[in-house]
Amino acid sequence: MELRHLRYFLTLAQELHFSKAAEKLYIVQPALSRQIKDLEKELGFPLFDRDKRNVHLTTAGEYFKKEAELLFNNLEETRQKAKLIAAGLSGEIRIGYVGSAAYKVVPELVASINKKFPNAQVYLSEESSAQQVEQLQNGELDICFIRNTTTGKNIMQKVITRQTFSLVFPSSHWLANKKITSLEQLKNERFILPPKKNGEEYHSHILSIFHDAGFKPIILHESAHASTILKLVENNLGISLLPSFYRKIATEKVKFIELSDIPQRSILSACWMKNCKNELIKDCIKMLSLLKFP
């Protein structure tokens, strides 16, 4: 069975007249009759009741007509979608991100994608930087947003934001309103920091700040989520070190002291595979270049 057999059948089912159907198909009537007989033979049942004057669909023919119409409609939809995908106008994109990218970078990118490609499906997944790089290499993600993490070869990388770090205190802490002249003042404090398992490089980057100050921090609690860390700080369960961006989402119950003099920075980067076949990625990179992030 070929698509032309179904097209011939549907035309005859609509016209219920061999001569009119043949004319519409630009073939001769005997050729159409032969094609319909071949189709019925392959199916094993008649599609039409015929006499010298009339042509009618059988009960099986009525059902076959409905299903054939659905098939052709699906084929056309598939063709149109494939055409859009080839032009980068539709399709799907799988985005991975660390928590901090969820507050501004990812929402603004998704809004831009929806505006330009309203039919595109966007799938979001919050993961650690290390997990994202692995998923990107395995083809499970199309683009990801990682923080202070080295990537492998064949991975393209674009820096999105480069921010200072800040100390985060409960507003009632004895150091909250004092001038921090040296981080060594904090060597006896209890810290709430991201765990090593959620990003070894980022964890080491944080610890290097304390190392430069000449001490190893006392880590009382660990959390991969900045929102959780802020809540723990609010409740006087320790102090923390976070990218200064989080000042914007913190409450008045915490105090941020920016460490602008240290060399370490919190660097958020977008990553994608060099040979990525997803046409939407090219547009996403252009969008990121146009968007402004602090």
> Is residue 10 a contact partner of residue 32, using CB atoms and an 8 Å limit?
no
CATH number of 165-264: 3.40.190.10
Q: What is the pTM of this model?
A: 0.67
* Average per-residue pLDDT for the chain: 89
* 3-86 against 165-264: fold identical: no
Question: Residues 84-115: pLDDT tens digits?
Answer: 777 766 778 999 999 889 888 999 999 999 99
What one-letter code names the amino acid at 51?
Answer: D
Percent with pLDDT over 90 in the chain:
59
Question: Looking at residue 100, what is its pLDDT?
Answer: 84
Where are the domains positioned within the chain?
Answer: 3-86, 92-161+267-290, 165-264
Distance from C-alpha of 289 to C-alpha of 270, rounded to nearest angstrom:
11
Question: Residues 116-159: pLDDT tens digits?
Answer: 888 888 999 998 888 899 899 888 899 999 998 888 788 999 99
Question: Residues 209-230: pLDDT tens digits?
Answer: 999 999 999 999 999 888 899 9
Instruction: Report the candidate in 88, 201, 75, 14 with the shortest Cα–Cα distance to residue 23.
Output: 14
SS3 214: coil
Question: Looking at residue 88, what is its pLDDT?
Answer: 65
CATH number of 3-86: 1.10.10.10
Considering only 9-18, 117-126, 172-181, 205-214, which range has the smallest mean pLDDT? 172-181
Tell me yes or no: is domain 92-161+267-290 CATH 3.40.190.10: yes
Question: Residues 227-259: pLDDT tens digits?
Answer: 899 999 999 999 999 999 899 889 999 999 999
Distance from C-alpha of 9 to C-alpha of 111, rounded to nearest angstrom:
46
Task: Count the neighbouring beta carbons within 10 Å of the beta carbon of residue 242.
Answer: 25
Question: Looking at residue 294, what is its pLDDT?
Answer: 67
Question: Looking at residue 256, what is its pLDDT?
Answer: 94
Distance from C-alpha of 143 to C-alpha of 149, rounded to nearest angstrom:
15
Confidence check: pLDDT of 77 > 90: no
Query: Beta strands 92-97 and 143-147: pairing type?
Result: parallel
> Is residue 46 a contact partner of residue 32, using CB atoms and an 8 Å limit?
no
Question: Looking at residue 48, what is its pLDDT?
Answer: 92
Q: What is the mean pLDDT of residues 45-68?
A: 90
In angstroms, the Cα distances linking 44 to 40, 124, 167 are 6, 49, 79
Distance from C-alpha of 226 to C-alpha of 126, rounded to nearest angstrom:
13
